[in-house]
Structure 1
Amino acid sequence: MGERYDCTKCKESLYGQKYILTEEQPYCVKCYEALFSSNCEVCQLLIGCTGKDLSYKDRHWHGDCFLCTKCDRSLVDRPFATMDDTLMCTDCYSNEYSAKCHACLKTIMPGSKKMEHKGNSWHENCFTCNRCQQPIGTKSFVQKDFSNYCIPCYEKQFAQQCVHCKAPITTGGVNYREQPWHKECFVCIGCKQQLAGQRFTSRDDFAYCLDCFCNLFAKKCASCTTPISGLGGSKYISFAQRQWHNDCFNCKRCCVSLVGRGFLTCKEDILCPDCGKDF
């Protein structure tokens, strides 16, 4: 008697019967479907071994059940998209969920390249400079009055020119005497320190930091010889073409403050009345 050829599961003879060979093990159709076939996501019926099993992310469908949930069009051999485990053709998905181009107002199809900025989206070819109409792509741009401009066009059309270097001011800047400056161009005429955000003063239309202004133009204290700026409300004493800081206007001999008091002079020195009696 010849060797038997039986189903691996139920041991029934497979001679003259249909069977499926899986990993070199034979199974009758009934056992194979019970062990290996899946139920359809839509109709919940078994997908038989003779039927078409369409699978996506461990989910299975009959060929006739693999349809767009919006328009019922077959998705067999067609591109599709999913949202919350729901199957849709790309047209329905786009109408339902895809962004609309801010320029042409048409849907931006899934998978196509798009540009995004501040919550708006564009087709790549629609994201263009409002002035030269050239695609901006990944280049730098400026948005003004809800329109986008490449940097060269923005500078030509809108940017002010620095009164010092004549180049466009695209970010920030300083307005001094109703004229625009780059921050890096608005510097002390003496030490070249940037003055933006700092206290400064001017003379003969030139801007100076306080240190340079005091060193160049301020009167010197007759006592400590350092400049008396007179800026910011600082007080000083002036007498006979000489000036003193308030804190320096003291009796040369006893060092008492003479601010608001009578005093005497002896050559270059100032003395309180008591010390002046001895001279």
Structure 2
Amino acid sequence: MAERYDCTQCRGSLYGKKYIMREEHPYCIKCYEALFSSNCTVCKKLISCTSKDLSYKDRHWHGDCFLCNKCSRSLVDRPFATKNDMLMCTDCYCKEYSAKCHACQKTIMPGTKKMEHKGNSWHEKCFICKYCQQPIGTMSFVKKETNNYCLGCYEKHFALQCVHCKKPITTGGVSYRDQPWHKECFVCTGCKQQLAGQRFTSRDDLVYCLDCFCNMFAKKCAYCTTPISGLGGSKYISFEDRQWHNDCFNCKKCCLSLVGRGFLTAKDDILCPDCGKDI
């Protein structure tokens, strides 16, 4: 007696019938389609085992249903793209969604390298320096008006030169007496501290922070011996060859303030008239 050859699922005989092998197990056409065939994403009908099943990201199509959602052109054996799960030929996708090159105004095709800056896009070969016409790529560049310049060309043609070091100023410059400086070059003549954003003064065309200026040039208070800057409208008392801070101009004996009052001198001391009667 001949050995039976049956469908793995329904156990029906497969002798004289078409069947499909899956993992070394035979299935009749009906069982195979019920178990393993997919429904078409477009028409929702079963994709039979005798039809071409086109799949992409867990979705399936009949060959006749695998079409561009915009122009209905067949995508079988053609490149395609997706947007919000919609299939599109590359032409339709580019018209709808691809960026235009800011230089040549042509479409930047999906998958090609592009350069982006502040909302604009370029083909890699179109992203070039306005002057030297060399590709900028990932190098540093400066945008001026509507054009891009490599750092070398920008410094050569546009950048101001620091009055101190004579090198181009590309960022963080300081203007003093209508002359440009790097922030790091605009420093106190005395202590070399950067003066950008700080109070400072000058003497003989040299700039100083307030501390250095006071220590080097300011008169010393006859009482506390610290410098009297006189800067910023601060008030002080001057008598003969001596100066005092307002707060230091007091009677030596009773400490009464002598600002706006009469006073007497006794050697290096100043006295109010009452205390001066005793000398």
Q: What is the distance in 2 between the residues matched to 1:100 and 1:90?
A: 14
How many Å apart are 1:71 and its aligned residue?
Answer: 2.0
Aligned-residue offset at 1:72: 2.1
Distance 1:182 1:62 in 2: 69
**Structural mapping, 1:123-272, within 5 Å:** 123-272=123-272
Alignment-derived partner of residue 96 in structure 2: 96
> Runs in 1 of length 4+ with deviation above 4 angstroms?
none
Shift of 1:120: 0.6
The whole-number CA distance in structure 2 between the counterparts of 1:18 and 1:39 is 22
Task: Report the residue type matching 2:53 in the other structure.
Answer: D
Aligned letter for 1:112?
T
Deviation at 1:76, TM superposition (A): 1.5
- When normalised by structure 2's length, the TM-score is 0.98
1:7 equivalenced with 2:7 (yes/no) = yes
Matched residue type, 2:5? Y
The separation in 2 between residues aligned to 1:259 and 1:35, in whole angstroms, is 108
CA distance in 2, matches of 1:133, 1:179: 32
- Bigger drift between 21-30 and 106-115 goes to 21-30
Q: Pairwise mapping of residues 79-94 of structure 1 onto structure 2 (< 5 A)?
A: 79-94=79-94
Gaps of 5+ in 2: none
Give me the whole-angstrom Cα distance separating, in 2, the residues matched to 1:127 and 1:75. Answer: 33
In 1, the alpha carbon distance for the partners of 2:84 and 2:227 equals: 76
Partner SS, residue 17 of structure 1: coil
Query: Which residue identity is paired with 1:161?
Result: Q
Return the letter of the residue paired with 2:125.
N
1:167 & 1:149 partners in 2: Cα distance? 18
Once the two structures are TM-superposed, the CA of residue 278 in structure 1 deviates from its matched residue by 0.9
How far the C-alpha of 1:157 sits from its partner, in A, is 1.1
Structure 2 match to 1:65 = 65
Deviation per CA, 1:81-125, whole angstroms, max 9, x where unpaired? 011111011111011100000000000000000011101100011
Aligned to 1:50: 50
| One-letter code aligned to 2:160 | Q
Unpaired segments ≥5 residues, structure 1: none
* TM-fit CA distance, 1:39: 1.3
Sequence identity (%): 82
Aligned to 1:27: 27
